[in-house]
Amino acid sequence: MDLEREFEQTVAADHRVEPRDWMPDGYRATLVRQIAQHAHSEIIGMQPEGNWISRAPSLRRKAILLAKVQDEAGHGLYLYAAAETLGADREELTEKLIAGRQKYSSIFNYPTLTYADVGVIGWLVDGAAICNQVPLCRTSYGPYARAMIRVCKEESFHQRQGYELLMTMMSGTEQQRALVQESVDRWWWPSLMMFGPPDAESSNTEQSMLWRIKRHTNDELRQRFVDMSVPQAAKLGVTLPDPHLVWNAERGHHDFGEIDWTEFWQVVKGAGPCNAQRVEHRRKAHEDGAWVREAATAYARKKEQAA
Q: Which residue ranges make up the site for ligand BYC (CB under 6 A)?
A: 33-34, 37-38, 41-42, 45, 72, 103, 105-106, 125-126, 129, 132, 193-197, 202-205, 208, 214, 218, 268
Report, in Å, the least distance between residue 112 CB and ligand BYC. Answer: 12
Q: Choose between 220 and 239: whose C-beta lies nearer to ligand BYC.
A: 220
Report, in Å, the least distance between residue 64 CB and ligand BYC. Answer: 14
Q: Choose between 132 and 183: whose C-beta lies nearer to ligand BYC.
A: 132
Report, in Å, the least distance between residue 146 CB and ligand BYC. Answer: 15
Report, in Å, the least distance between residue 211 CB and ligand BYC. Answer: 11
Q: Choose between 152 and 239: whose C-beta lies nearer to ligand BYC.
A: 152
Q: Choose between 98 and 177: whose C-beta lies nearer to ligand BYC.
A: 98
Report, in Å, the least distance between residue 122 CB and ligand BYC. Answer: 8
Report, in Å, the least distance between residue 38 CB and ligand BYC. Answer: 3
Q: Choose between 74 and 237: whose C-beta lies nearer to ligand BYC.
A: 74
- Do residues 159 and 86 make contact, with C-beta atoms less than 8 angstroms apart? no
- Nearest position to ligand BYC, beta carbon: 45
Q: Choose between 154 and 239: whose C-beta lies nearer to ligand BYC.
A: 154
